[in-house]
Amino acid sequence: MHSIQSSSTAQHHSTPFAATSKDEVSTRDQHDSNAPGEAHAFAQAGDADHQELLDWVGTDSMRAEWTTALLLWQTLATARSDESEHIATTVWGEFYGLARLDGIESLRQVNRKVLKRFSWYLHQRDLGHESIRIRMAVLREIFSTLVKLGVMKKLSRV
């Protein structure tokens, strides 16, 4: 009988989209669906992977808060082009993903430490100085609008 590895190995990766280990892929490829115990274990591993993805994405109310905040900014932002809106949406998605990994659930939990970590994350991706500068400026513009609306608190120092 082949053993099915727990999906807990994926918890050591930064996102649930990280590749599974070679052994886990090999084990799943060789899975014998005629063995009821293995089929149940395989289904449980799939459920765990699905739950991990849901945990990473966040709750419905959390996604709604972050999405609504971006839509508010888009509605109120002046002189935006399609390109700037695309950049803002991309940056907001990147920031949301990193915030989730840091355990941030509410926009009110965002502080300068989280923003500094996001800047560090962008530098690690070797995006180039100008690209990073644009992303950070867009993010600060979004934050500024959301603070004025009372959706976010002013970023505190930590």
What would the pLDDT profile of 102-111 be if each residue is shown by its tens digit?
A: 888 888 888 8
What would the pLDDT profile of 143-157 be if each residue is shown by its tens digit?
A: 888 888 887 777 665
In terms of residue numbers, what domain contains 32?
Answer: 7-57
Provide the pLDDT for residue 101.
Answer: 86
Provide the pLDDT for residue 57.
Answer: 53
Is the domain of 65 the same as that of 21?
no
Split into its structural domains, the chain has a count of 2
Is the domain of 112 the same as that of 46?
no
What would the pLDDT profile of 40-87 be if each residue is shown by its tens digit?
A: 444 455 555 545 544 545 566 777 888 888 888 888 877 677 788 888
**CATH number of domain containing 68:** 1.10.150
Task: Tell me whether residue 11 is in a domain.
Answer: yes
* 80 CB-contact burial (10 Å; exposed 0-12 / middle 13-18 / buried 19+): middle
Provide the pLDDT for residue 123.
Answer: 92
Residue 132 has pLDDT above 90, yes or no: yes
Provide the pLDDT for residue 48.
Answer: 54
Block residue for tokens 């892929």: 25
Q: How far apart are CA 25 and CA 85, in angstroms?
A: 39
Is the domain of 102 the same as that of 131?
yes
Could you tell me if 31 and 2 are in contact, meaning their C-beta atoms sit under 8 angstroms apart? yes
Joined together, the tokens standing for residue 20 give 């599974």
